[in-house]
Amino acid sequence: MRWRKYLGLLIHYIRPCRAPLPGAPVPDAQMDIATDIGQHFAKIGVDPLRRAFLSRRAVMPFRGKRRVAAEDVPERWRALMAAASPPRKRLVYLHIPFCANHCLFCGFYRNAYTAPRAADYVEMVLAEIAREAGAPAIAGNPVHAVYFGGGTPSALTADELSRLLRSVRGSLPLAPDCEITVEGRIVHFDPEKIDACLEAGANRFSIGVQSFDSEVRRRQGRRSTKQEAIRFLEDLRARDRAAVVIDLIYGLPGQSPEIWRQDLETAAALEPDGIDLYGLNVIPGTPLFTAIAAGKFPTASRLDDLGPFYEAGAAFFRRRNWRQVSNNHWARTTRERNLYNLLIKDGADCLAYGSGAGGSIGQTSYALSGDIELYAADIGAGAKPIGMMLESDGLELLRNRVTAGFEVGHLDLAGLDSAASTPVTPLVAPLLAQWQKAGLLTFDDGVVELKVAGRFWYGNLISAFHDILNDRLLPRREAA
């Protein structure tokens, strides 16, 4: 998942914390904790990959944040830009909100690509970057990773991609080894565009293949065939000038376990530097959601089908000695670092540019307007086109530690305790014991290690921890 761009686009997925069970007796503090966390227990005596929970929870970056009043946003932004940034890791996210067509599963499609509209948009983003380049908040710490996401960045022309990349490199303080990723699709990503990106400084490509099976691809709105996808990736890899990462989705309609195995084998045979495996998330309002509801995809995977797909992928890479970088990402070579996705989960600051992008500076998060016309009006007026600004509560550091730890399958509770105002381990120990019994993890000597099933359900585990932190620690901090 591309963390910060979801800030402004998934606001309707916020889930409130549920209260303790009504009428439950609370004879002492330990019983109170046990009653409170029972809602997060996994099922016992079932296949944990299939049925540990009734649904998969998403982890949203705006959890625990309070919306800043619209009238206060301009002054708050000016204050942020005027203050020198403290020493901490930083990232850049640049959003390209155009696609040549709407893939059925995608919940982030906003604008159909047209050459004139895209050309105007590039000029606006260039102006946005240049306008802030000299601000104290921007000119301080080095940027360790840049991510061009979308939408479809590769929908732009070679010259437009080059100009954006060169602007980022020339205007922002990038670290010498900065990871610069361009996300793209096979259609329209021709050799001229690839070479333009490389010459302008891109050193990582994330290619959304999703499936190599031609029929599965066709039914999801992907225009290229399996052989066209293979030829594109072979040509990209042969340049040997940047890390190549392939994104695959499991659970797509018509994607049987055999087709999934073939997808994994085809992807690995291409010898990319890394591969991402994402479970299908059928988002309400997408064409796929509508098609499944209408019965047009009778072979659509159910939730309890997804776990075995994930397990098959994890076992596939383990047998080939690929390095598991995070729950959803495996690296074949040392060239692949996956810096952006790891650092964003750890709470690194993220400077955002472009309509629909989301970012953060310290305890303040913001989302730029997803409406291109509103974005254009603000850029023309010399204003930052912020559609929403949020301020974090006092638990942001702890949430980041939990998210970053579970993201890589390893959480050191001693470190969490030392960062908190009160020990966290006693609050979550009963829950961890229950999850261990359910087959999701091991918990020994203060260290949590996720099993394969725990890695599959990691969003639920993180969300449970966040709920408990909110319920148990936030009132104390607010009172203090």
Rounded to two decimals, the pTM is: 0.90
Domain ranges in the chain are 29-63+395-479, 67-345
Bridge partners of residue 90, in order along the sequence: 349
What mean pLDDT is predicted for residues 125-131?
A: 98
| Paired tokens of 140 | 């301080």
Q: How far is CA 440 from the centre of its chain?
A: 22
User: Residue 365's pLDDT is what?
Assistant: 96
The Cα-based distances of 45 to 288, 351, 456 in angstroms read: 33, 46, 18
Give the pLDDT confidence of 382-434 residue by residue, as tens digits.
Answer: 999 999 999 999 899 999 999 999 999 999 999 999 999 889 999 999 999 99
Give the pLDDT confidence of 329-356 residue by residue, as tens digits.
Answer: 999 999 999 999 999 999 999 999 999 9
Give, rounded to a whole angstrom, the gap between the first and last alpha carbons of the chain.
Answer: 36
Angle of CA points 108, 273, 347, to nearest 5°: 55
Burial of residue 370, with CB atoms counted within 10 A of its CB: 0-12 exposed, 13-18 middle, 19 or more buried: buried
171: pLDDT strictly greater than 60: yes
20: pLDDT strictly greater than 80: no
What mean pLDDT is predicted for residues 290-311?
A: 87
As its CATH architecture, domain 67-345 has: Alpha-Beta Horseshoe (3.80)
User: Residue 63's pLDDT is what?
Assistant: 76
State the chain's mean pLDDT as an integer.
88
